[in-house]
Structure 1
Amino acid sequence: MTGRQRIVLALVCAVAVSPVYGIQPVLQAAGRDLGLADGSLGWLVAAGQIGYLAGLVLLVPLGDLFDRRKLITVHLLLTAAGAGVAAVAPGAGFAIAGLALAGLFAVVVQIAVAYVAAVSPPGERGRNIGTVTSGVVAGILLVRVVAGLLGELADWRAVYLVIAVLCVLLALAVRVTLDADVPRSRDSYGRLLASLGRLVTSDRLLLSRGLVAFFLFASFGTLWSGLALPLGAAPWHLGTTEIGLFGLAGLTGALGAARAGRWADRGLAFSVTVWSLLLLAASWLLIAQVGSSLWLLIVGVVVLDFAVQAVHVSSQHLLTTARPDRSSGVIGAYMACYSLGSALGAITTTWAYSVAGWWGACLLGAVYALLGLVVAVSTRRLTVPRASTSVPA
C-alpha cells in the first residue's frame, strides 16, 4: 500500500464520519432554523447515530462479498446525498432523514479499514491501520472545530454542504487512487449475516475486544459529551467556538497514537492495551482539574485521546489478523460495541454531572477505563501474540 493510498483512506475516514458528529456544535442554531423545540433537538443528534448503528450491522459485512473499492466509492456518494439533503432540508423531518441517511453510509469508514487490512502485508498491517484509523478520530474531533466556525461565519447548513462536496471529491479520488480488491467470501448476504451472528456469540477474541471497546469509548464519550458543561460554566464561561477548539488538543493525542500500529506489528498489542488503559484512567485526574487550570485539562485531553487511539488500533489489528476472511464483518461487530459505548458515555455523563458535578463525571470516565482494563487482563490468553497467528472461534 502506497503512502498516497493511506492518505486518501485517512481522509475518507475523517470526512465520512463527520456527518454523525457535525450537528453537535450547531445543534441549537439548527433547531431554531428548523422550528424544533429544545426537547426535540436530540433527534438531530440521534438520527446520525441510529443510521450509523444500522449501517454497521447491515452494510459493513458487504465488504466481504464485493470489491471494497467500489463500495467505498458508492458509500461516499450516498453519504454526500444524505449530507446534501440535510443541508437543503425545508423542515425537521427532511433534516432528520438526511442525517440518518448520511449516518447509514458513514460506515464506509469500517469498509476502508477492512480494505487496508486486506491489501496490507502482515508486517505493515498495523502501521497502515493506525494511519487510516487516525482519520476517524481526526474527523470526530476536527468537525467540532470546523462546524463551530462555519456555524458562526455562515450557518449550520454550510457544515453539511461542505461535507457533501468533500465526499464527492473523495469518491473520485478513491476511484483513481485505490486498487481493486478481490472479496474472499462466496457466501450469500443472508448466510454472511447469519455466520456473523454466530461469530459474535462464539468468537471469544471478538467478544473480549468488543467489550474493551465498549468501555473504552464509554470513557471517550464521557469526555467529549460532557466537556462543554464545565467549560461553559464558571469560572470560564467559554463559547461554542472556543470549546470546539479543545478538539485540536485531542487531535494531537490521537495522531500521536498512530505508532500503535507499528507496536502491534511487533506483537505488542496486549502490552499496548494494558498501559494505554492505565494511562486513560490516569488522564482523568488531569481532566478533573478543569476548574483551576485549562493547561492541565489540555494535557489530560491529549493523553486521553492518545490512549484511546492506541487501544483502538491494537484491537483492530488483532481482529483483522485473526479473521482475515471476515475482516469487514468483525470490524462492523466491533464498531457496534464502540457505538454503544459512546452512547453510554454520552447518556451517563450528564447524569453524573447533575448529581456530583464535573468530579463525578471524571470519576465515571476513570471507572469505565478501569473496567476495560479488567476485561483486557482477564482475557489475555486470547490475544494474538504475533501478526501471523490466528485465533479460532
Structure 2
Amino acid sequence: MHDIRLVRDDPAGFDAALARRGVAPQAAALLQLDEHRRATIAEAQAAQAQRNELSRAIGQAKAAKDDARADVLMRDVAALKERLPALEGEEQRLGAALDDALAAIPNLPLADVPGGADEDGNVLEHERGRKPAFAFAVREHDAIGPALGLDFETGVAIAGARFTLVRGAAARLARALGQFGLDVLTREHGYEEVVPPLLVRREAVFGVGQLPKFEEDLFKTTDGRYLISTSEVSLTNIVREKILSADELPLRFTALTPCFRSEAGAAGRDTRGFIRQHQFDKAEMVSIVAPDRSEAEHERMTAAAEGVLTRLELPFRRMKLCTGDMGFSAARTYDLEVWLPGQDRYREISSCSTCTDFQARRMNARYRPAGEKGTRFVHTLNGSGLVVGRMLVAILENYQQEDGGVAVPSVLQPYLGGLNRLEPKG
C-alpha cells in the first residue's frame, strides 16, 4: 500500500519507479481522486461549520423573540442536515476508491534493483558449492523418486493433478528436512517457532498483498476464509493493527506448515514430478524490523537460507531479481537457485524479499521509536527457509547413485536414525 503523500510530493518520481516495473503511469489518476476527496472533505467541514453557526444564531434569535428569523435559520439548518449525509457518503466513496486504487499498485523497487522485463534480467550475485560429477547417466527426480516413495499416480488418483502421495523412504526424508530446517532457523538464527492458523480471514491475505490481485491463485473455503499459500500470511499478520515499542524489535518468526496454491498462472509448467504442487510444506521466515534495520535484515535472512543449502552441501547461486520478475509486495528480492543435475539447470528453491513498509501500511502495523510521541510503520521481510518438496528434489538429483539409491546428506542422518542411504524398492 502506498502513501498518497508520496504521490503528491513527487508524482513524476512515483510514475518513474512504476515504469521500472512495467506499470503505466498512475499519479495523475490518483491525484485527481485525492483532490476530489479532499475538496469533498473541505466542503463537508464548511457545511458542518455553517450548521453550527446557524444553530447558534437560532438560539440568539429565539432569545431575542425574533421568531421569523429563527424560522428562516431553522429552514437553512434543515437543508444542511439533508446535504451533509450526501457529502459524507461521497467522501467515503472517494476514500474507498482511492484506497482500492492504491492497493492495486505494486511496491516500488529499491534503487539497486536491476531493470528488466522478466527472469532474463536477473543478475547473478554469487555461486556456492561444487556441482557433483557422476560416472553414470544422471536421472531426474521423477525417475528416481517412485522407487523411494514418490507416488505420483496415487496422488493424482486421490486428489487430481499436481498432488503427490509421499510414502516410505521419501516421506522419512521429507520429515527430516522439515525438522532440520526448523532447527537451523530457531537454534542458529534466532527465529521464534510458531504454529499458525492455516485458514485465515480476507483481511490477513490483503495485508500481505495477495488480495485483491491474486485471488485466483488462492483456495477459498465456503465460509470465506483462505488456505494460506505460505505461512508468511499468518506470521506477518501477527503484528496487524498493533503499535509495538522499539524494544520489541526485531521480531523474527518461523513456521513449518503446509502451503496451498492453485497455480492458476502456471498452466503447462512443471506438470511432471514434484516441483510445482498444489500442496507442499515449507519452513518460512518472517522479520518485523525498524526501517533503519531492514537492509541489514535482508542480508541476514538471505544468509540464513543460504546456510541451510550449505549445510546440505547443495550447489546453489544467488540471483538479484530484476524489476519485472519481483513479486507484487517486494521492494527487492534475492532468489536462491539450487543446481539440479538431472535437469542440468538451476531452479529456484528460496526467495527472500524486503517489502519495506508496503505490507505494514496495509496491516496498519506500527512501532513507537524511543523518545518519540508519534508512530512509524515497521518494515516487513519474508523468505523461504526450506521448501521441503523442492529440497527433496534437489537431494534426490544431487545425491543419486547408479543403482537408484540416494545417499543421505550427513546433517540429515541424525534425523533418520543414522541412516546414510535410501534404498530403492524393487
Q: TM-score range by the shorter chain?
A: under 0.3
| Rg comparison, structure with higher value | 2
The two structures have a TM-score, normalised by structure 2, of 0.22
The two structures have a TM-score, normalised by structure 1, of 0.24
Q: Relative to total residues, which structure has the larger strand share, 1 or 2?
A: 2
Q: Which has the higher contact order (CA 8 A, sep 6+)?
A: 1
Q: Relative to total residues, which structure has the larger helix share, 1 or 2?
A: 1
